[in-house]
Amino acid sequence: MHLIDLQRQDDVFVITLRAGENRLDVGMLDALGRALDEVEGCEGPLALVTTGEGRFYSNGIDLDWLRRAPAEEAGAFLVALDRLLARLLTFPVATVAAINGHAFAAGAMIALAHDFRVMRLDRGSICLPQIDLGMPLRPGMVALTQARLSAVAAHEAIVTGRRYAGPDAMSRMIVDEVAPRDQVLSRALERAGSLANKHRGTLVALKRGLYVDVLSILESS
């Protein structure tokens, strides 16, 4: 089964997660890494959009798999997830998450690691449910949430586990834009395409400067 699909539309690459709830495990991280390698290896003006299909952007880590995995494998996976967040946070082209449906836990973190987020207006929610799962957030994820959200919004999201629908997420500046279901991807493509000509080296340097504290945690986990 193809876990993801990679297509190019003009100057924008689109990564579509195609594994149902798009839960994260070793296979999904590997597939995402290969797709990012391909995007990064292309020259010329570029930007990146990620999205899912149906009801889910990503429902977070596959917890059933994680609980069954040997401790060493589970630990290596969590480190790899931190590295993926760091890579997205400093990716050398502009990135936009087209949140087509639910983005929970680590799925929400992947969306937050993008430069911008466009979320479906009418259905789906973004949520950090660790309080209800009885699972603390990893330090890098806490740092990423604090960097992306206001102090008030980060506190509410983390300690309540609230599910934010599109309008609520927009009002708290968790996402940058909301759109009807059939316009989420096109609006994300438009936003990404407008930034495709940014100089890559400068973009990386600026992102690393903006998020130096977050990266110090994610990259040293």
Alpha carbons 221 and 216: distance in angstroms, whole number: 9
pLDDT of residue 10: 96
Q: Does 216 have pLDDT greater than 90?
A: yes
Give Cα separations from 213 to 51, 117, 217, 218 (angstroms). 27, 22, 7, 9
Task: Report pLDDT digits (tens) over 3-36.
Answer: 999 999 999 999 999 999 999 999 999 999 999 9
Full residue range of the structural domain in which residue 147 is found? 4-218
Vertex 109, ends 173 and 201: CA angle to 5°?
85
In sequence order, what are the beta bridge partners of 8? 13
CA atoms within 13 A on the CB side of 213: 8
- And the tokens for 221? 């986990």
- And the tokens for 175? 């996402």
Residue 157's identity, in one-letter code, is A
pLDDT of residue 221: 80
pLDDT of residue 2: 79
Mean pLDDT of the region 186-207: 98
Give the CATH number for residue 45: 3.90.226.10
Task: Report pLDDT digits (tens) over 147-177.
Answer: 999 999 999 999 999 999 999 999 999 999 9
pLDDT of residue 1: 55
* Residue at token pair 């400067």: 209
DSSP 57-103: EE--B-HHHHHHS-HHHHHHHHHHHHHHHHHHHT-SSEEEEEE-SEE
Please name which of 58, 38, 57, 56 lies closest in space to residue 48, comparing C-alpha atoms.
38
Task: Report pLDDT digits (tens) over 33-70.
Answer: 999 999 999 999 999 999 999 999 999 999 999 999 99
Q: CB under 8 Å to 57, separation ≥6 — which residues?
A: 17, 22, 51, 97, 98, 99, 100, 101, 102, 103, 107, 111, 124
Count of domains for the chain: 1
